[in-house]
Structure 1
Amino acid sequence: MPDYEYTALTVAGDTVAKTLQADSRKAAVAQLTSEGLTLVRLDECGGVPGEQGVALVPEAGRVPASSRESFTRQLSSLLAAGVPLATALYRLAKEAHSEVAGRVWQAIHDLIADGTSLADAMNQFPRVFPRVHIAMVRAGEKGGFLALVLEQISDFQARERDLRGRIVAALVYPAVLAVLSVGAVIFLLAFFIPRFEAMFSDFGATLPLLTRLIMGTSAWIRQWGLVVALVVACALLAIREWGASERGRRHWEALLLGLPVFGVLTARLAMTRFCRMFGTLLKAGVPLVSALDVAERSLGNQVLVDAVHEGGQHVRQGSRLADSLSQCTLLFPGSVVEIISVAEQAGRLDDELIRLADTTEKEVDRRLRMAVALAEPALLFVMAGIIGTIVIGMVLPIFALQDYIR
């Protein structure tokens, strides 16, 4: 039984370098993966460095989202054309435009050559492939329609890229306005107001309540501002680490779904992915239960995945799809369940699911544009109110001084 030297990352992000015994490279990878480790490098002891060792995780840099999207789409096309998986991965690794992407594709190829499944190979690169994509690939491999799943993943990536681009473009002006407004408020409180304190201290009379509140806030920010900023930064880092854990991620996803506006948009986007994936798989002739298994994994939110999976158990036991999905009211409103029920009875479930995805996507896009359009004047109103309050608070004592002189 050969010995293997490995370097891996723990769940906490620490690097470990040890030696283990295994029957083969595949067995070594499986053993380390089962322990929750993310492999960085695996070498057989006594082997020639650089020949038998495989760098499993890029040492530096990130794979661009465009490279990941291109990889998924091209791999789908090659598999649909009948090219073997290992050959397709080898070609993509050689033709990668990014050096980091080329190393990742080559590492996946080497893992596949050692007998690892594509989903398990992708799972070694959590910074490259999202969990939802890996889950969908795993289901596609299991059901024998991997090329179709990869095509849908690439379509999802393109749609999300377009949506993200529209949102960023719409938020540029409000974001710049918010930064400038916050900067102006900090400047007024930290540098402008202190200049008036000496003058107001010689005033001799009681200052207006608003002025005293503003001056007290200014003094508090000058004394504790850096401490508060440091505490907030530490809290954000702690929340980020907590959100990276399985339990924290589940609580965070549940919290997002509970938000008034954002939660509804998140659920609608998830429903769009579900319906499009489900309808496309059914249209391609994939059995209902297998298509449902992949579609529920495409939701991306574990709370929704669990809810749909629980309802899907009834479908696996022979119940109607609409009756099962009606139990997940957060994801499927009553009107959507009714449409699915009618389509299921009419035998056109695939077409209706795709149509639902298209209409829901347009509705989400319209709501996002409306939310951004409303956020801009609301932000202007709030910032103008804050700055105006500060200015008025500083002017009131001057008017009082004029009345006192008269």
Structure 2
Amino acid sequence: MARYRYVAKNMEGNTIRGILEASSRSDVYRLLREREYYPVKVEKLVQITDTKDIRFSNKVKSRDIAVLCKQFSTMLRAGIPIVRCIDILSKQLSNRLLCRVFAEIYSEVRSGKTLSESIAQRSRYFPSLMVSMVEAGEASGTLDEVLDNLALHYEKDHKLKQKIKNSMTYPVIVLVVAIAVVYFLLTTVVPTFVGIFSRSGAQLPLPTRVLLSLSDFTLKYGVFVLLLIAMAAFLFYIAISRGEGRYKWHKLLLKVPVVKNIMIQSISTRFSSTLGILLRTGIPLVAAMDIVKKVVSNEVARKGLEHVQDMAQKGGGISQPLEQLGLFPPMLIQMVKVGEESGTLDEMLLKTAEFYEGELEASLTRLTTLLEPLVVVFLGGIVAFIVLSIALPMFQMTSFVG
């Protein structure tokens, strides 16, 4: 069975669009005529799993989700019917995959399905937070407000990811440039001086001898070493991407002084923001915790939150088990306690998320400010060593001639 997108006219002359599953194009025409539609255009849909969409194999990016929710919310607030909103989104979204997915959702919603049911069937594209909140929004009749909150949440999530990426971009670029410069000097510049030094017959300084040995080794085995490093990096990435290796890696990162602070702030921001927005929507605490532990990307925190969820399921609060984890900051624990006692847990969590979001931004700025001079000194030191190693025997030769 293949999927076909169709454009047709009904008996009143209105344009109907949708998607049908059929074994051939002729079957689509037959099904449309049975519905008393006049086919205008029928085209076979390319499977979403084709090579052009490999990069979308898991979830859509946070930025795309934020734009989607904002546009959807704006149209609903303007009084446009939900089916018409979905149809508009399927044509105007900049993300090609989302356009295709919403074209399918449009066909299903027109046939009587709810929006939350259609989105839930496509959970590989949409985050579980969005699926649950859309369902809650439909049940409470506040879908526009829920989508507006989701847009704000994913916009913040996108900015948070970008800040973390930007803080690491500069050191990585400088490191790559340093490796390229050193490789160029050792394989191109340094060998030109080997003949000069060997003809001089003088005893070469230790730095020069070390440099010449490195140059000789790089010329013979440099390519193999680079391939070995790349393979080791790839295997390391595979090892820390799943199972026990991922858990041990995250546990190790939580022991590194500067990284630990940034990771705890990031976990606290995601936990507070996600749980707060879920509780505000009306989702029960236990069900909300099930979503939160998936959103928190750190495996140590995720396993700890499983214990917190078990305690909440038994009827207790979450402040005490959160404190027992020894992972979250004292301020977050106190805010959760106040929220539980006053019945305003969602409000306290959202305020806490705003605080730690600012703290995380400040920490990332300090880290970037600290790394920039260190990386420059590191690169300058390497180049200075090479230049000095070449210059020392040149000075000796000049003194000898003089």
Residue 263 of structure 1 and its aligned partner are, at CA, apart by 4.1
Is contact 2:119–2:131 with CA below 8 Å preserved after alignment?
yes
> Deviation digits for residues 353-385 of structure 1, max 9, x if unmatched?
222111111111001000001111111111111
Cα distance, 1:106–1:259 mapped onto 2, change above 3 Å: farther
Cα distance, 1:107–1:178 mapped onto 2, change above 3 Å: same
Residue 162 of structure 1 and its aligned partner are, at CA, apart by 3.0
The CA distance in 1 between the partners of 2:253 and 2:82, in whole Å, is: 38
Is contact 1:322–1:341 with CA below 8 Å preserved after alignment?
yes
> Deviation digits for residues 58-100 of structure 1, max 9, x if unmatched?
6325678444321133345667889886654333113324544
Matched with 2:277 is 280
Cα distance, 1:49–1:93 mapped onto 2, change above 3 Å: farther
The CA distance in 2 between the partners of 1:242 and 1:171, in whole Å, is: 21
Provide the secondary structure at the position in 2 that maps to 1:261. Answer: helix
Map 1:225-236; keep pairs closer than 5 Å.
Answer: 225-236=222-233
Is contact 1:67–1:98 with CA below 8 Å preserved after alignment?
yes
- Give the aligned length: 361
Residue 399 of structure 1 and its aligned partner are, at CA, apart by 3.2
The CA distance in 1 between the partners of 2:320 and 2:146, in whole Å, is: 26
Matched with 2:294 is 297
Matched with 1:121 is 121
Does residue 389 (structure 1) correspond to residue 385 (structure 2)? The answer is yes
The CA distance in 1 between the partners of 2:190 and 2:20, in whole Å, is: 62
The CA distance in 2 between the partners of 1:193 and 1:114, in whole Å, is: 74
Structure 1: give runs of 5+ residues left out of the alignment: 7-40
From 326, 331, 335, the counterpart of 1:329? 326
The CA distance in 1 between the partners of 2:219 and 2:75, in whole Å, is: 62
Of stretches 169-178 and 181-190 in structure 1, the one that deviates more from structure 2 is 169-178
The CA distance in 2 between the partners of 1:138 and 1:283, in whole Å, is: 15
Provide the secondary structure at the position in 1 that maps to 2:376. Answer: helix
Cα distance, 1:175–1:211 mapped onto 2, change above 3 Å: same
Map 1:127-142; keep pairs closer than 5 Å.
Answer: 129=126, 133=127, 135-140=128-133
Is contact 1:5–1:43 with CA below 8 Å preserved after alignment?
yes
From 310, 313, 332, the counterpart of 1:313? 310
Cα distance, 1:253–1:79 mapped onto 2, change above 3 Å: farther
Provide the secondary structure at the position in 1 that maps to 2:48. Answer: coil
> What's the RMSD between the two structures over aligned residues?
3.8
From 367, 374, 379, the counterpart of 1:371? 367
Is contact 1:108–1:121 with CA below 8 Å preserved after alignment?
no
Matched with 2:212 is 215
- Corresponding letter in the other structure for 1:339: M
Cα distance, 1:338–1:169 mapped onto 2, change above 3 Å: closer
Cα distance, 1:44–1:300 mapped onto 2, change above 3 Å: farther
Provide the secondary structure at the position in 1 that maps to 2:325. Answer: coil
Residue 45 of structure 1 and its aligned partner are, at CA, apart by 3.9
Map 1:28-39; keep pairs closer than 5 Å.
Answer: none
Of stretches 223-232 and 173-182 in structure 1, the one that deviates more from structure 2 is 173-182
Matched with 2:48 is 57
Structure 2: give runs of 5+ residues left out of the alignment: 4-18, 29-41
- Corresponding letter in the other structure for 2:352: L
From 319, 336, 350, the counterpart of 1:340? 336
- Corresponding letter in the other structure for 1:356: T
Residue 188 of structure 1 and its aligned partner are, at CA, apart by 1.8
The CA distance in 2 between the partners of 1:341 and 1:105, in whole Å, is: 42
Larger Rg: 2
Is contact 1:43–1:54 with CA below 8 Å preserved after alignment?
no
Is contact 2:83–2:106 with CA below 8 Å preserved after alignment?
yes
Is contact 1:58–1:103 with CA below 8 Å preserved after alignment?
no
Residue 301 of structure 1 and its aligned partner are, at CA, apart by 3.5
TM-score by length of 1: 0.73
Is contact 2:153–2:273 with CA below 8 Å preserved after alignment?
no
Is contact 1:93–1:103 with CA below 8 Å preserved after alignment?
yes
The CA distance in 2 between the partners of 1:152 and 1:255, in whole Å, is: 35
Identity of aligned residues (%): 25
Is contact 1:203–1:401 with CA below 8 Å preserved after alignment?
yes
Matched with 1:264 is 261
> Deviation digits for residues 108-133 of structure 1, max 9, x if unmatched?
445666969345433344xxx4xxx2
Cα distance, 1:97–1:258 mapped onto 2, change above 3 Å: same
From 101, 105, 110, the counterpart of 2:102? 105
Cα distance, 1:365–1:49 mapped onto 2, change above 3 Å: farther
The CA distance in 2 between the partners of 1:191 and 1:274, in whole Å, is: 52
The CA distance in 1 between the partners of 2:241 and 2:84, in whole Å, is: 35
From 351, 356, 366, the counterpart of 1:360? 356
Cα distance, 1:49–1:160 mapped onto 2, change above 3 Å: farther
Is contact 2:211–2:389 with CA below 8 Å preserved after alignment?
yes
Residue 189 of structure 1 and its aligned partner are, at CA, apart by 1.4
The CA distance in 1 between the partners of 2:83 and 2:303, in whole Å, is: 33
- Corresponding letter in the other structure for 1:346: S
Of stretches 65-74 and 201-210 in structure 1, the one that deviates more from structure 2 is 65-74
Provide the secondary structure at the position in 2 that maps to 1:94. Answer: helix
Cα distance, 1:84–1:230 mapped onto 2, change above 3 Å: farther
